[in-house]
Chain A
Amino acid sequence: MELRITNLAVARAGVPVLEGVSFALRPGQALVLRGPNGIGKTTLLRTVAGLQPALAGDIAVAAESVAYAAHADGVKATLTVTENLAFWAAAYGSGGVAAAMAAMDLASLADRRAGNLSAGQRRRLGLARLLVTGRPIWVMDEPTISLDAASVQLFAGVVRAHLADGGAALIATHIDLGLEAGVLDLTGHKAKPPAAGGRVGTFDEAFG
């Protein structure tokens, strides 16, 4: 279960934002993506998750091994915590709802409607979804938003357990999670404009 990215270029709204991104993520490893706002972290993660096509380069990963956690966590306010997780467990054909709730400290909230959760509790529920997917490679976009210090520690522990279990994690975050993770700063991979010999995006292919 390896994720290997080779010379990847991604575009946002047809304009190239990142290029020449290469890394490999082996079982047990975590990689933290850094870079200023707007550099293209979310775009890169969405491309890895398969939501948008890559402009160039190669993403080599076994089918059905990536679980994606976006900015918005897709929690349904009118469903209870258990119902939210049970749905995703059924969608991924896996189980472990109770274990996931225990790991993210949600057991006491099991029958609470998600709409009545605090922002941090809601976020924990969104992250618990990763556990029930049963997928080895977690791709996470700013997972610690609205988590308090204790919850960040809890989450870091969950990721550490996942890594120890042979999983892998690709995380875009500014917070130091205290993981033994590699760091990839995307600043150096900013796409050059065509005038400087950079790539031409689909947006202005042959138009420029």
Chain B
Amino acid sequence: MIALLIRDLRLAVRAGGGFGLGLAFFLLVAVIVPLGVGPEPATLAKISPGILWVGALLSCLLSLDRIFALDFEDGSLDLLATSPMPLEGVVTVKALAHWLVTGLPLVLVAPVLGLLLNLPGAGYAWLLASLALGTPALSVIGAFGAALTVGLKRGGLLMSLLVLPLYLPTLIFGAEVVRRGAQGLAVGTPLALLAGITAGSLALLPFAAAAAIRVNLR
């Protein structure tokens, strides 16, 4: 399992484009929105929690198809499925690798982009907390979507259509944490619900994703 994690991280680093691209996209979102909405600081402060969360979500979406598609194309997925590692574990490790390569960097740069978007001072801690809690759910839900579409030729667009509705609860609670935090309100409830979604997804979705991969390899 650890060997698979190391392999996936090594592949992501060597292939390039993996996490650099996601971060660049996140930055682009943070630049494009003020250009479109106008530079009014009060407006930006109001919408920044939502923009940051939507940006993180879209950046995450961008690299999902790499989770299984590359391994499917070169036959590694067949070999992984016949190896002694349980496929559920393979899915979990691959989702973890995706989070380390995509989600974690997003969490770390988000405060900088918060500055660009004039996020109120009270919001930064909650931005970090909500993204750190929520992005693992994005990775594992995305791994499920990637597993559903792994055998398809033009699966990318379809996967977005499947994954985005599944992302909505995470997005709503995540952005709500930041919005309430930025206004100095209590954030306990949305934060707990966000943690609940992440924990539930981590516990259950690897089974659904592994089932989908088995079906797709059949």
A and B: real partners?
yes
Q: Among B77, B79, B83, find the residue whose CB has the most chain A CB atoms closer than 10 A.
A: B79
Identity of the chain A residue whose Cβ is nearest the Cβ of B12 in the assembled complex: A78
Given contacts A52-B218, A91-B83, contact A72 B7 (CB under 8 A): no
Give the residue name and chain of the B residue nearest to A63 (CB): B84
A192 within 8 A of B: no
Cα A49 to Cα B218 in complex, Å, equals 11
B11 interface residue per 8 A CB criterion: yes
Shortest Cβ distance from A12 into B: residue: B218
Interface string of B187-215 (1 = CB under 8 A from A): 00000000000000000000000000000
Q: With A91-B84, A91-B85 given, is the CB distance from A72 to B10 under 8 Å?
A: no
Query: Is there contact, CB below 8 Å, between A70 and B11?
Result: no
B141 to chain A, nearest CB (A): 26
A82–chain B nearest beta-carbon distance, Å? 12
The verdict on A51 contacting B11 (CB below 8 Å), with A68-B78, A76-B74 known, is no
A52 to B79 Cα, complex, angstroms: 13
Partner of B74, one of A67, A75, A91: A75
Hey, what's the 0/1 contact readout for B1-27 against A, CB within 8 Å counting as 1? 011101100110011000000000000
Closest chain A residue to B78 by CB distance? A70
| Smallest Cβ-Cβ distance to A14: which chain B residue | B218
Q: How far apart sit A62 and B119, CA to CA, in the bound complex (Å)?
A: 61
Alpha-carbon distance between A70 and B74 when the two chains are bound, in angstroms: 10
Least Cβ distance of A7 to chain B in Å?
21
Q: Which of A50, A53, A64, A90 contacts B3 (CB 8 A)?
A: A90
Are B7 and A87 in contact, with the CB atoms below 8 A? yes
Contact (Cβ within 8 A) B75 A76: no
CB-CB under 8 A from A90, the residues of chain B are 2-3
Choice from A53, A72, A92 contacting B75 with Cβ under 8 Å: A72
Contact with B along A67-108 (1 / 0, CB 8 A): 110111111101100010011101111000000000000000
| Chain A residues in 8 Å Cβ range of B78 | 46, 51, 68, 70, 72, 74
B13 → chain A closest CB, angstroms: 9
In the complex, which residue of chain A has the Cβ closest to the Cβ of B15? A78
Q: Is B81 an interface residue (CB 8 A)?
A: yes
Tell me, rounded to whole Å, the shortest Cβ–Cβ distance linking A184 to chain B: 22
State how many angstroms separate the Cβ of B131 from the closest Cβ of chain A.
29
B residues in contact with A49, CB < 8 Å: 82
B218, A53: Cβ atoms under 8 Å?
Answer: yes
CA distance A68 to B15 in the complex (A): 27
| Residues 52-96 of chain B, each 1 if its beta carbon lies under 8 Å from chain A, else 0 | 000000000000000000010111111111111100000000000
Least CB distance, B30 to chain A, in whole angstroms:
31
Question: Is the pair A91, B3 in contact by a Cβ cutoff of 8 Å?
Answer: yes
The CA of A73 and the CA of B2, in the complex, are separated in Å by: 22
In the assembled complex, 21 residue pairs joining A and B whose CB atoms fall closer than 8 Å, in A order, are A51-B81, A51-B82, A51-B217, A51-B218, A64-B84, A68-B82, A70-B78, A72-B73, A72-B74, A72-B75, A74-B74, A74-B78, A75-B74, A76-B7, A78-B10, A78-B11, A79-B10, A79-B11, A87-B3, A87-B4, A92-B83
